[in-house]
Structure 1
Amino acid sequence: MAVVVLQHTPGADPPVIGAAVEAVGLDLRAYRAWAGHLPDDLTGVDGLVVTGGPKAICSEDDATRHAELGLLRGALAAEVPVLGIREGAQLLAEAAGGAARSEPDAQFDWGPLELTPAAGSDPLFGGTPAQPRVPHQHGDSVELPREAVVLASDDRHPVQAFRIGGSAWGLQFPLEADAAALNEEARSSLAALEPWRDLVLGRFAALVAARAEHTATRAFFTRRAGAWEDRFAYQTPAYAAAVARMELGCGQTALDLGCGTGRAMPALRAQVGDEGKVFGVDVTHAMLTAAARIGRSDCGQLLLADCTRLPFPSASVHGIFAAGLLDHLPHPRTALREWARVSAADGTLLLFHPAGRAERAARHGRPLSPDDPLAEPNLRPELDATGWHLTVYDDAEQHFLARATLAR
């Protein structure tokens, strides 16, 4: 797992941010944005920090600026955690549809930060001191998009800290101030700020670590969601054939976990009938948006949720369909246990992929691994340990299918 830092000032890796990242077991990768050095995309990026610099980034009209805005827009869409500091906050506001203004020669001094009521429940600011003294660059200002939440202001600026969605924060003040470059009075102010600063940065790093399990998934599928259905529509009959083997009854409840664009949902609806319930669950908002756009919401409800922590009561589900999901989860046994929790007595679990294990391994240029969680010697004991009984194991060339029932 890694946090990427886009630096706008020459020098070593940011020590303050680096310490917070290292404390939660993450790696830090610094890119020299000031020299045009940026990551190609968000692959392998669990968190993104965009720092400040000596000049107004928001007024620059060059390739680097446009590339940074593209990375930030991608991070916002995929819910990759972002922390923008000073000019980084301005870029974040612009990427989200707002605007920013910076005066290079504006006054710089220290002053109290007024936290708004919304800061009280914020993941980074909640429970922190109400009026920390921070350094201000008084010529900097941002205009936020409508959905943004203001977290802090001061006597000159209505926006000094803000949040966009649930994973991106912008700070108009430089938390990464270098004590060596400050006078004695400013160093004293910085020393007083350090506990608050370390708490906020530590919370951001902890949030990145906690969400990393799903960040890579969201980043991968968000970029591909728009073309996903067109690319794989030919597999729909195979999905329907797999669902038929679940043998669900009218009026029952079925889940399509990791549903993507919901290719199994029409077949699930046909099995449970108009009186039944169908839910498509996915962790990627863009995939669910694509599913709704092609009419899958007519077949059931689409839910944005973690497939290992389902928002359903115990023993409330009769059938679970999971295509290409279990072997991509970091803790398959945790998932199987949760799926057993929500399943009614004699509930059915169908694990599916429209290609066999050998075919998929060959496609990726690798041999079959004995550690593959879908290999029968590995899958069967995992199912047994979580309350499932494997009744069908069919690893054919054209598909993989494992059917299990809940043993209450």
Structure 2
Amino acid sequence: MPNRRLPAESRCRNDGTMPASAPVTATDRSAARPSRARAIGRVLPGLTVALAGALAAVATAALVPGLSPLLVGIVLGMAARNLGLLPERLAAGLAFAGRVPLRLGIVVLGLQLSLKDLAALGWGIPALAAAVVVVGILATVLLGRLLRVPPRQALLVACGFSICGAAAVAGVESVVDADEEETVTAVALVVLFGTLMIAVVPALAGLLGLDARVSAVWAGASVHEVAQVVAAAGLLGGGALGIAVTLKLARVLMLAPVAAFLSWRQRRRGLVDGRRPPLVPLFVLGFIAFVALRSLAPLPTAVLGTASAVQTFLLTTAMLGLGAGVRIRSLAARGGPTLALAACSTLVVGAVGLVGALIVA
């Protein structure tokens, strides 16, 4: 039988290795362009809606003192989804908005943290931040097992409540291969319980007779989101804001080692979506680089202010995209055990934060 010539990708060399891929031709490139154009066309409508909604959320929050634009963003997204205002053609863009801007927002968040400012507060502040994160995550994961909450859901809640809210949920969701519903549930719970903490921490601090510094440290160690810490510290008054935010940012810094550890653990267990996850996600490396930049270089106040505004807008866009994926019926179905876990996690983090504040402040 005559030898038939096999396609290049099916032939091997005599040494058993595969031949190099054929060079990419102009025809191949031109064929790829319509594919990219279609992908952009699918994403653009939903992304545009998310960006416009984020602008509206930021503007609304600016009119109400203490109101977080992230909270407004996720509420807008949830309302639009459950009132049937979002046609299916927006789905791809809204999903994109819930992923990419969130990671970019985490990177820019690094410019808020100066290691020099952290060191100036003494060893107790970073030690307390580490204790809150480690104890909070371990306790929440253990409680999740007792309450029979799915392991990935419990881990997302643990990281969100112990580290830095929605940004931490985003930081670990791709590493642990969480699905969209688990991610949205964790973010919604962060928003709910973190918002409650804005009022609860100052009220309890007053009832317990805590001084301004202890109260500020407690707020920074216990409240979930950076924006929520700012709101709670504003209610405490005095010089609470600087201390509370610095301690909160020390918790944010813990996102890098936690994400790296979870990624390492996932690599040992196997593949995610057919591939090994990176040891440290790229956006976490970007976050670390921006922390280093802020710590080593004297950045103008205008640059830091602009970075803060950009970070808020990016995270608000992401919250709207995530909120648009929330279906109230599905969230309610998860109800009981997951809600109980969130409440218990808040109590654990709050208790560790209070004890630590009494020791180090």
TM range (shorter): under 0.3
Structure with greater strand percent:
1
Say which one has the larger Rg: 1
Structure with larger RCO (C-alpha < 8 A, sep 6+) = 2
TM-score by length of 2: 0.23
